[in-house]
């Protein structure tokens, strides 16, 4: 295993209107990817679903092209557009062959500037979304996940707020236009360009987005949000006739910028972050309580969450919780063996190497930090510690708790 990895540093450009452009020119294939990352997540919306609808429906029609024409345009050039909206950010990602990049980025610029939000498309989106959510709410895993985040942060907190099926009935075209004009602007945008390209492609980014106007929202980006911790503890939600229990155990942690994040990433992988983890070996392979169990880190801009998730037969709910707490206690009290630590570090190193290839760089955590997380200065290398030592600092649409751990069981 290599003792260190050298990351490609992003070159920082500034467009005419002040937009920061991060350029990662690396790869062997004649492809590139452009990511438009806006401070336009659901935390900035005025009503439920406003951010998600405003972003997802942007490619469903512009002043010059219909939804069908936009979809056929990207299909014709073999490119695809992906849109993701989370609590903090909204990201439009376009992947394209270099030779077709001029045609594709021009359409992307039109989608960003002049979406019209046709009533027909909004109605279809609302109907489909409501039906899908109603189906999801019949699943214990969905109920547990929603209750978990609402319990950790509070239902009024942007990270704990959840949409209901009825919210789809009240989302209006005017709300989407309002969100677009307030948050989809140059003052809330960072652009990442990655892959194999030249100065011509950088000039095209300037041409398409260098005169993008500012969003009308003049309020500063908050540094933090107060958390309602009154509901934390053990929460049990009953679903009659359920054959499985969905279990979520976790806590509020820290964001990705915290100095302990790299070390905790290794710790999480040991506990439940890959198929050979301790939770999988104990609860799946040894006890046979579940088909799968995992632990994960969910980083937000100003916070983070550590969680363990699984679904088990109703009769195995309590025994599973006992084993989960037993594995956490074991991590606290017993040093990790050198061979296990080396195996996990080798696994993580392989994942990093797999991601750092050509245009995939844009989706890798090291060269593509979120805005506000020192995006202009990604780490040049991540140290791989010696065995037994401490680790070094190292929803989508396609077109064309520090106070203590507490389970949520549904």
Cα separations in angstroms, 114 against 51, 140, 209, 220: 16, 40, 13, 25
Rounded Cα distance, 164 and 146, in Å? 11
| Res 350: pLDDT | 87
The angle at the Cα of 345, spanning 340 to 346, to the nearest 5 degrees, equals 95
Residue 8, pLDDT score: 78
pLDDT of res. 366: 36
- Give the pLDDT of the chain (410 residues) as one tens digit per residue: 666 667 778 999 999 999 999 999 887 889 999 999 999 999 999 999 999 999 999 999 999 999 999 999 999 999 999 999 999 999 999 999 999 999 999 999 999 999 999 999 999 999 999 999 999 999 999 999 999 999 999 898 999 999 999 999 999 999 999 999 999 999 999 999 999 889 999 999 999 999 999 998 866 656 566 676 666 678 899 898 889 999 999 999 999 999 999 999 999 999 999 999 999 999 999 999 999 999 999 989 889 999 999 999 999 999 999 999 999 999 999 999 999 999 999 999 888 877 765 555 555 443 333 433 433 333 333 333 333 333 333 344 444 433 334 444 44
Token pair recorded at residue 409: 């069981």
Which helix (H) or strand (E) is 5 found in, with range? Answer: strand 4-6
Q: What is the pLDDT of residue 229?
A: 65
Give the pLDDT confidence score for residue 316 in this predicted structure.
95
Strands (E), 26-149: 31-38, 80-85, 90-97
The Cα 196–Cα 30 span in angstroms is 6
Eight-state DSSP code of residue 114: -
147, 217 Cβ separation under 8 angstroms: no
pLDDT at 352: 82
Burial of 26 per CB tally in 10 Å (0-12, 13-18, 19+)? middle
- pLDDT in the model for residue 228: 67
CA–CA separation, 309 vs 143, rounded Å?
12
**Which domains are present in the chain?**
4-209 (3.30.830.10), 235-384+401-409 (3.30.830.10)
């Amino acid at each position: 295993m290599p003792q260190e990895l050298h990351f490609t540093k992003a070159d920082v450009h500034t467009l005419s209107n002040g937009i920061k452009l991060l350029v990662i020119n690396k790869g062997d294939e004649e492809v590139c990817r452009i990511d438009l990352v806006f401070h336009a997540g659901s935390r900035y919306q005025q009503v439920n679903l406003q951010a998600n609808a405003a972003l997802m429906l942007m490619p469903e029609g512009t002043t010059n092209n219909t939804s069908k024409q936009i979809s056929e345009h990207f299909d014709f050039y073999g490119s695809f557009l992906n849109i993701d909206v989370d609590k903090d950010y909204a990201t439009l990602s376009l992947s394209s062959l270099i030779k077709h990049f001029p045609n594709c980025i021009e359409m992307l610029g039109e989608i960003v500037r002049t979406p019209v939000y046709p009533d027909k498309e909004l109605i279809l989106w609302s109907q489909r979304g409501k039906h899908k959510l109603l189906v999801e709410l019949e699943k214990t895993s969905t109920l547990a996940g929603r209750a978990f985040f609402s319990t950790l942060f509070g239902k009024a907190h942007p990270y704990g707020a959840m949409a209901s099926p009825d919210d789809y009935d009240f989302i209006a075209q005017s709300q989407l236009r309002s969100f677009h004009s307030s948050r989809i602007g140059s003052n809330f945008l960072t652009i990442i360009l990655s892959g194999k390209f030249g100065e011509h492609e950088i000039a095209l980014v300037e041409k398409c987005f260098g005169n993008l106007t500012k969003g009308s929202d003049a309020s500063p980006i908050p540094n933090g949000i107060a958390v309602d911790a009154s509901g934390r503890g053990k929460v049990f939600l009953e679903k009659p006739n359920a054959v499985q229990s969905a279990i979520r155990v976790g806590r509020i942690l820290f964001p990705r910028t915290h100095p302990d994040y790299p070390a905790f990433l290794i710790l999480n992988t040991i506990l439940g972050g890959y198929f050979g983890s301790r939770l999988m070996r104990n609860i799946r392979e040894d006890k046979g309580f579940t088909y799968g169990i995992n632990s994960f880190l969910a980083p937000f801009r100003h916070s983070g969450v550590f969680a363990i998730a699984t679904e088990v037969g109703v009769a195995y709910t309590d025994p599973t919780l006992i084993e989960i707490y037993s594995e956490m206690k074991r991590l606290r009290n017993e040093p990790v063996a050198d061979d296990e630590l080396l195996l996990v570090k080798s696994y993580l190193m392989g994942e990093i190497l797999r991601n750092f290839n050509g245009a995939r760089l844009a989706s890798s955590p090291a060269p593509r930090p979120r805005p506000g997380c020192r995006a202009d200065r990604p780490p040049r290398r991540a140290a791989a510690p010696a065995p037994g030592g401490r680790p070094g600092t190292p929803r989508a649409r396609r077109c064309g708790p520090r106070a203590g751990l507490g389970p949520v069981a549904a």
